[in-house]
């Protein structure tokens, strides 16, 4: 698991590629499933809109 899965660096700017958990804050990324985002740390879940 490398940092290239979570961040992208272009021209000196860093962009996060994964969604951060709104409860845990920046640095805690949410897992992306086919129908939802889920935080493994606190259990917060957001369902994707169809």
**Phi, psi angle pair for 30, to nearest 5°:** -95, 145
Which of 6, 19, 11 lies closest to 46 in space, CA to CA?
19
The 10 Å Cβ neighbour count of residue 26 is 9
Q: What is the pLDDT of residues 1-50, one digit of tens each?
A: 677 888 899 999 999 899 999 999 988 999 999 999 999 999 999 999 97
Question: What's the pLDDT at 19?
Answer: 93
| Residue 18: burial class (beta carbons within 10 Å; 0-12, 13-18, 19+) | middle
The three-point CA angle 44-7-45 to 5° equals 10
Question: What's the pLDDT at 1?
Answer: 60
- What distance separates the 2 farthest-apart alpha carbons in the chain? 35
């Amino acid at each position: 698991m490398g940092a290239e899965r979570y961040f992208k660096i272009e021209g000196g700017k860093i962009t996060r590629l994964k969604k951060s958990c709104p409860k845990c804050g920046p640095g805690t990324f949410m897992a992306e499933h086919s129908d939802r985002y889920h935080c493994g740390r606190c259990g917060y879940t957001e369902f994707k809109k169809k």
